Amino acid sequence: MSSNMIKSKNIWVPERAHGVCVYFTSKDEALSDGDGGVLCAEGLMYDLDVERRVLEAGRYWSGDADGLVKWVAGARKISASEKDDQVERLNDGLIADPFEDMYDDHFSNRSTNGK
């Protein structure tokens, strides 16, 4: 975390500023449809407009007024075909999400270059 601090202003900046906002019921279960799709939206982390929209939709569809939203930093929504591709990559011993390869390369190069 110290590498994510802007020391002159003492401000913490997350490594990944985007993510997925997911609706959870009061039983702490993600609200999903019969196909396993979870009620969520992509956006900048802690975007109040995204949170409000996901919360409203979650409360409407679940009937649970006590539900809440949680963010998954660096995550992104994927389609059913992408999920199948990721399962295949995982079974082949690769990182499931090909975008993670890019992140790993970027951050490993950054640490070996002394930045």
pLDDT for 3 beyond 70:
no
What pLDDT shows up at residue 13?
A: 61
Token pair belonging to 46:
């802690």
Q: In the beta sheet, which residues pair with residue 22?
A: 40, 70
Token pair belonging to 71:
């963010």
- pLDDT tens for 57-106 read 999 999 999 999 999 888 888 888 888 888 888 888 877 776 666 656 65
What are the structural domain ranges in the chain? 1-76, 78-115
pLDDT for 19 beyond 60:
yes
Give this prediction's pTM: 0.67
Return the percentage of the chain with pLDDT > 90, whole number.
38
Largest CA distance in the chain: 52
Contact 31, 23 (CB under 8 A): yes
pLDDT for 30 beyond 50:
yes
